[in-house]
Structure 1
Amino acid sequence: MSSAAFSSRDTSAKSADDDPSADAPAASSGAPSDTASHTASGTPSGVAGASTPLTSGPPLSASHIFASNAAQRTSVDGVTAFIQPGGGATRASLSFRVGASDEPLPRRGITHLLAHLATNAAGIDSLLTPPTVSASITTFHFEGSAQQVANEIGAVCHWLSSAHDPANISPRTLDRHRDSAYADLVRHAGEHMDLLGVRLGPAGWAAGGLPEYGLANVGPAELSQWAKDFFVQGNAVLALSGTKTTTLRTPLPEGQAQPYRALDVPDLELPAWAPSPQAELSVGGLITLDSGHRDRDRAVCGLVSDIARAHASVAVRRKYGRSFAARSGTLALGDDHVHLALWGRVSDADESGVLAEVLESLRSLAEDGLAEGERAAHVKRRLDAYERHGQLPSGAHELLQRQAIGGLTGTPWSLPLERRLLGTASDVLIEGMITQLAETLIVRSHAPVGGLTPVSSRITVEAPARDAQTHRSRPAYGLLARGRPADERPRRILTDEHALTVRSLDRPDQQIRWNDVAVVESYDDGRRALLSHTSEAIDVRPEDWLHPGDLADVIDARVDPATVAACGVREPVEPRRAGITDRLPVWLWPVLIVVCLALVAAAVVPAWSGSFSWARWVIGAVGFVGLVVVGAFGYDVAMTERRLRKPPKP
């Protein structure tokens, strides 16, 4: 997003790498992640960065992979199930095709809250085993004896079924579990969300980067309708490994599978640069899949992620040493697109140099192609990682869950299929994807990157109407305030029937049109934080403005009520002190100057008798001092108003 301070709530309690959930669960434990809405390193630790020489070696035997992936596809009470029999503890994952990308922005978090209610209704401690919500998949996790898991699955499904009637959702229970949902907030795939927010805007596939406003205000009726739309038989899949009991039931209501949210890619001049509040390596590109070979291309995108990261790491380590570690991952955006991201931690001093090395490595890779044997080496390394991961009971279940989600979403995945698809990848295909990556790059960094178009250039700011209503900041005047922080300098908000415009003395106008507002954070104290569909953010805080109540009323009257997210009470903030010029109306300053001039003129007129000559000097002194003081303040007011009539040049 264009403003790191858009919301006071912290949705990044955990990083994406701490989230064990998601659509490609293998990633969290070291196996490659290349499809679905999850992000992680893409390869096991010790492989990232390709610090070891590339050697292709002989192909792996598929016998073990087939054996560890021998899942039975069946149906339990109308719900598709992938069951992998075995000994030990029983693990299960019940997934639904619904996630953050499906939620209206003012109701962000409705899926998370509904999942928490279902989990706690089944007697599961949501702090120990929380449900997980990614961009497009919601998953309930179970582990224990076969009978215990069967009972918990049945209880979750029974509650979801009963939730189709809002009368069965107790307001008291709902309020009690809002806090537990806040306790395990996870900013899913944050490395992708920040970049997607720049590329796509905040709604849809980038919605996971926003706070979960709905946790505070959605009610039983909204939750019930959400359950009817998404938590049904046809929109669910079950993955179960270990012992299966004959009492397993999934009593969900009938319903159809829900398609992915459509992806609308705005027209941008790419490659592009977007500002970040801190130094970081954050690079992302968009790969469009061949409609006739989607499964193959999805598998190859994961391979491209590994290759791009390896080249970037080698280039940076050559200059900055082995302490640098780049990471990479992919995020499937529906059926036809995959977002590929590279990220890493960098210092302020090294940020520009690291970014230059990474961008140059990607450019060289796109132009020069792969070295001989490089593709085969990366394929082997990737499949080795899958095989090692599948040898662990937890890892085998994560791969089974990934296979099940593929069955739900129509994107088939299995280890044998992955092996076969990667075997069909050619250097030409990989190089074509790398070219797509290089041509669609968006880079986020604290310092501007030369040669890249700022994304802010896509936003056209129109001049406010001549009769636009003017709202003054606190402080409203003070040309000497230029050395202060930006939010302590004189500013104006201009509102007309089309837009809200923020104007300052030293930077171009910032503007959000009313019909482009995606979401408005509304607080009880009058704070209004606006975010547009182009990720432009304007935070109107009452402590920064002279008449915040009037300003809040204007905003409330102009925005679409459907975009308002009620955020409740905000921590009290002391307003900035109002100066002398802020307390007096503008018209009073010329009046005071005229009065002072009159006093000076009265003192110099030779109409005073000798006995009153002392009064003449007193009046003259008062008039002169007043003229100097009032004139200085009046001059500051006049010059500030004059300079704020027109926006400064960029």
Structure 2
Amino acid sequence: MSRVLRIDGVEVHHLDADGPVTAVLAFGVGVADEQVSTLGISHVIEQLALDGAEGLESDVAGETRMSYTSMSVQGTPERVVSRLAAICERIADISAGGVHAGELRRTCRILQTEGGTAMGDSAHLAEHLNVRLGAQGWGLGAVTAQFLAKVTPQEVAEWAADRFTADNAVLALHGPMPEGLRLPLPRGPRCTPAGLDFLAQTYPAEYLSGGEEPSLSFVIEAPDATSIAAVVLLSSALRARAYRILRQEWGVVYGLEVEVVEAGGVAVLAVIVRCAEKEAADSMKGVL
């Protein structure tokens, strides 16, 4: 049985089931909401929130992506209640200015050592978004957090107070409902997700990629849920058709991927072709 309720202002989606409890606390804030000067600040808060809860083990994890930041806990109901309360209390403390400069510098060094981007393995899609949008919003997925060391404790506190709030969070629970669950987050308005604000450019266009694999991207209007579902079906059909033509009929590629991102009623679909350099032109023609 599933149900939706509110606990301490947080929207909670609970699916009752046997076994351990899995809880995912997600906030509607990610890299696409940030600026170049503070890029990585949501990841910093995620790390501080998890490090600040004492006794954390492998049953707790977090991730910061383009459109959300999440923290997950798994275990017995009692353990999940304890962990979630500690994480929320730490976020409230961060919002109130409870992070000192030394702690912030240490956390930033850890994240810079980790490297990586919020787009994960979707480097080609991130690059296309950066070319289409510039170093803003969803275009930040291809940008490194080079100014992270300059982020101040005050900026961290203000970002947490504005974005990591009960009203901007959703908790998903799977398993028996834990008794005594508390989510003592600061209150604040739900934030509007970042859209896809394209630069004024003339299309079709081309650019020299930093990689060896040619790729194409297309912009598709997707104003509602039905349109989004259609884009997903289109991407699947495009991949199957292009792979059949380029691989099975022409024999010019050894791999092909299609990646999609949707935001604000618009989708960007990227096709990545893995082929020898001499076959790049024919591969692109085959996709088109």
- Confirm or deny a common fold (TM above 0.5): yes
Q: Say which structure, 1 or 2, has more relative contact order (CA 8 Å, 6+ apart).
A: 2
- C-alpha contact (below 8 Å) 1:302/1:329 kept by paired residues: no
Higher share of residues assigned strand = 2
- C-alpha contact (below 8 Å) 2:59/2:74 kept by paired residues: no
What is the distance in 2 between the residues matched to 1:143 and 1:198? 39
What is the distance in 1 between the residues matched to 2:161 and 2:138? 22
- C-alpha contact (below 8 Å) 1:312/1:357 kept by paired residues: yes
- C-alpha contact (below 8 Å) 2:39/2:148 kept by paired residues: yes
- C-alpha contact (below 8 Å) 1:127/1:180 kept by paired residues: no
What is the distance in 2 between the residues matched to 1:351 and 1:233? 49
The total of aligned residue pairs comes to: 284
Indicate the residue corresponding to 2:112 in structure 1. 182
What is the distance in 2 between the residues matched to 1:216 and 1:126? 27
Three-state SS of the structure 2 residue aligned to 1:312 is helix
Indicate the residue corresponding to 1:309 in structure 2. 239
Offset at residue 214 of structure 1 (A):
4.2
Whether 2:143 is the aligned partner of 1:206: answer no
| Gap change, CA 1:327 and 1:230, over 3 Å in 2 | same
Residue by residue over 1:263-285, the C-alpha shift from the partner in whole angstroms, topping out at 9 and shown as x without a partner, is 32233222221111332132111
Indicate the residue corresponding to 1:353 in structure 2. 282
Whether 2:233 is the aligned partner of 1:300: answer no
Whether 2:24 is the aligned partner of 1:75: answer no
Match of 2:176 among 231, 243, 262: 243
| Gap change, CA 1:129 and 1:245, over 3 Å in 2 | closer
Indicate the residue corresponding to 2:125 in structure 1. 192
What is the distance in 2 between the residues matched to 1:213 and 1:129? 28
Three-state SS of the structure 2 residue aligned to 1:255 is coil
1:468-479 superposed matches below 5 A? none
Residue by residue over 1:582-607, the C-alpha shift from the partner in whole angstroms, topping out at 9 and shown as x without a partner, is xxxxxxxxxxxxxxxxxxxxxxxxxx
1:91-110 superposed matches below 5 A? 91-110=22-41
Q: In terms of mean alpha carbon deviation, does 349-358 or 230-239 score higher?
A: 349-358
| Gap change, CA 1:247 and 1:117, over 3 Å in 2 | same
Indicate the residue corresponding to 1:144 in structure 2. 75
Indicate the residue corresponding to 1:270 in structure 2. 203
What is the distance in 2 between the residues matched to 1:310 and 1:350? 19
Three-state SS of the structure 2 residue aligned to 1:272 is coil
Residue by residue over 1:502-549, the C-alpha shift from the partner in whole angstroms, topping out at 9 and shown as x without a partner, is xxxxxxxxxxxxxxxxxxxxxxxxxxxxxxxxxxxxxxxxxxxxxxxx
Three-state SS of the structure 2 residue aligned to 1:349 is helix
| Gap change, CA 1:299 and 1:160, over 3 Å in 2 | same
Offset at residue 129 of structure 1 (A):
5.2
For 2:187, give the aligned amino acid.
Answer: E
Three-state SS of the structure 2 residue aligned to 1:343 is strand
| Gap change, CA 1:129 and 1:155, over 3 Å in 2 | closer
Indicate the residue corresponding to 1:341 in structure 2. 270
Whether 2:15 is the aligned partner of 1:84: answer yes
1:53-68 superposed matches below 5 A? none
For 2:207, give the aligned amino acid.
Answer: A
- C-alpha contact (below 8 Å) 2:12/2:170 kept by paired residues: yes
TM-score where L is the length of structure 2? 0.91
Larger Rg: 1
Indicate the residue corresponding to 1:161 in structure 2. 92
What is the distance in 2 between the residues matched to 1:160 and 1:255? 13
Q: Percent identity?
A: 26
Offset at residue 128 of structure 1 (A):
8.3
For 2:282, give the aligned amino acid.
Answer: G
Indicate the residue corresponding to 2:261 in structure 1. 331
| Gap change, CA 1:84 and 1:192, over 3 Å in 2 | same
Indicate the residue corresponding to 1:114 in structure 2. 45
Indicate the residue corresponding to 1:280 in structure 2. 213
Three-state SS of the structure 1 residue aligned to 2:86 is helix
Three-state SS of the structure 2 residue aligned to 1:222 is helix
Residue by residue over 1:436-493, the C-alpha shift from the partner in whole angstroms, topping out at 9 and shown as x without a partner, is xxxxxxxxxxxxxxxxxxxxxxxxxxxxxxxxxxxxxxxxxxxxxxxxxxxxxxxxxx
Runs (5+) with no aligned partner, structure 2: none
Offset at residue 255 of structure 1 (A):
0.9
Offset at residue 127 of structure 1 (A):
8.6
What is the distance in 2 between the residues matched to 1:89 and 1:76? 20
What is the distance in 2 between the residues matched to 1:164 and 1:267? 37
What is the distance in 2 between the residues matched to 1:205 and 1:124? 35
Match of 1:261 among 194, 198, 203: 194
Whether 2:88 is the aligned partner of 1:173: answer no
Three-state SS of the structure 2 residue aligned to 1:275 is coil
What is the distance in 2 between the residues matched to 1:218 and 1:127? 28
- C-alpha contact (below 8 Å) 1:285/1:340 kept by paired residues: yes
- C-alpha contact (below 8 Å) 2:8/2:184 kept by paired residues: yes
What is the distance in 2 between the residues matched to 1:311 and 1:255? 47
Offset at residue 207 of structure 1 (A):
0.7
What is the distance in 1 between the residues matched to 2:180 and 2:28? 25
What is the distance in 2 between the residues matched to 1:356 and 1:125? 52
| Gap change, CA 1:98 and 1:150, over 3 Å in 2 | same
For 1:225, give the aligned amino acid.
Answer: E
| Gap change, CA 1:88 and 1:281, over 3 Å in 2 | farther
Residue by residue over 1:189-246, the C-alpha shift from the partner in whole angstroms, topping out at 9 and shown as x without a partner, is 4232100111111211111211113431212101000011101111000011112211
Whether 2:149 is the aligned partner of 1:220: answer no
- C-alpha contact (below 8 Å) 1:126/1:180 kept by paired residues: no
Offset at residue 344 of structure 1 (A):
3.6
Three-state SS of the structure 2 residue aligned to 1:132 is strand
Indicate the residue corresponding to 1:442 in structure 2. none
RMSD value, Cα: 2.0
What is the distance in 2 between the residues matched to 1:153 and 1:84? 17
- C-alpha contact (below 8 Å) 1:109/1:213 kept by paired residues: no
| Gap change, CA 1:98 and 1:354, over 3 Å in 2 | same
